[in-house]
Amino acid sequence: MKPAPRRPLLLLCALASAAALSILLIAPPPLAAHLSSLLLAFPASPYAGSPKLVFLLAGQSNMAGRGVAPPPPLPPPFRPHPRVLRLAASRRWVVAAPPLHADIDTHKACGLGPAMPFAHRLLLHATAADSDSDLVLGLVPSAVGGTRIWMWAKGEPLYEAAVARARAAVAAGGGTLGAVLWFQGESDTIELDDATAYGGRMERLVNDLRADLGIPNLLVIQVGLASGEGNYTDIVREAQRNIKLPNVILVDAIGLPLRDDQLHLSTEAQLQLGDMLGQAFLKFNSSMDSRQ
């Protein structure tokens, strides 16, 4: 049995977000579209029907984004691009613009996260290699703030919603799932039991995602924690470094600047992290190409 959390209000908010997300993502498209329309209206994209390189964004608040937007204009890596799309909660492809999780992580105020700078890094690389590149990227936000990794286990609402969302993203206009970008674990630093169980739970999560999505070698890029909510951050970080699965790579956020709450990454840190994630993905693909 799970030990009683020390922060029941935060956990209740996370559970409420998970429940709302599961309704939005697993509901039939007409109902999901109606629910999503009650939150925000997003512009459709002319590239909605184009094949895409898709990325599932999962985890908690630092993936959803809590970076504070500076006075306009936004830094270029955070700005919309016509070939960077986002799968809305209604399962409709729209032009990606921060906050990417506005209709996903609905119980918190979302801000700037790492996904837009990540996408811009990939587009920059594609254009440098081929000025006529027609690469279209599809971002699939699924992160919810305040969630612990047991809430992402197979059978839990967050897991089932993320899998349904990834399947819908690949089916909607065609495309391939390039990687899962995973940034989570801060909430698992509160309880010693959660911290010591983190490595095994993460490995089960990766194996379950690969099995349910039918991609045995699916790349998972996990972010090493830059902060934690409790006293067991070092235990979770050690677990992240010791994942014993192929095609799971670590991008370490330690040392990146934090906001005043000493928990969430600053806007500058999110920009740096997005670029680091992009470089890690490109390096992985380059190494795979060299082996073929």
For residues 103 and 36, is the Cβ–Cβ distance under 8 A?
yes
What are the tens digits of pLDDT across the range 202-217?
Answer: 999 999 999 999 999 9
What are the tens digits of pLDDT across the range 268-291?
Answer: 999 999 999 999 999 999 987 767
What are the tens digits of pLDDT across the range 139-172?
Answer: 999 999 999 999 999 999 999 999 999 999 999 7
Query: Catalytic residue among 22, 36, 61, 90, which?
Result: 61
- Of 38-47, 84-93, 252-261, the least confident: 38-47
Rg of the chain on CA atoms, in Å = 18
Angle, in degrees to the nearest 10, between helices 115-129 and 267-291? 40
Q: How much is the average pLDDT of 40-45?
A: 63
What are the tens digits of pLDDT across the range 120-135?
Answer: 999 999 999 999 899 9
Neighbours of 71 (CB within 10 A): 5
For residues 84 and 139, is the Cβ–Cβ distance under 8 A?
yes
pTM, full prediction: 0.86
Residue 11 pLDDT more than 70? no
Residue 90 catalytic?
no
Residue 61 catalytic?
yes
| Residue ranges of domains in the chain | 76-91+118-126+149-174+186-285
Confidence of residue 292 (pLDDT cuts 50, 70, 90): low
Residue 261 catalytic?
yes
Query: Catalytic residue among 130, 260, 261, 289, which?
Result: 261
Q: Report the share of the chain in percent with pLDDT over 70.
A: 85
Q: What is the CATH number of domain 76-91+118-126+149-174+186-285?
A: 3.40.50.1110
**Amino acid in position 260:** D
pLDDT at 44: 73
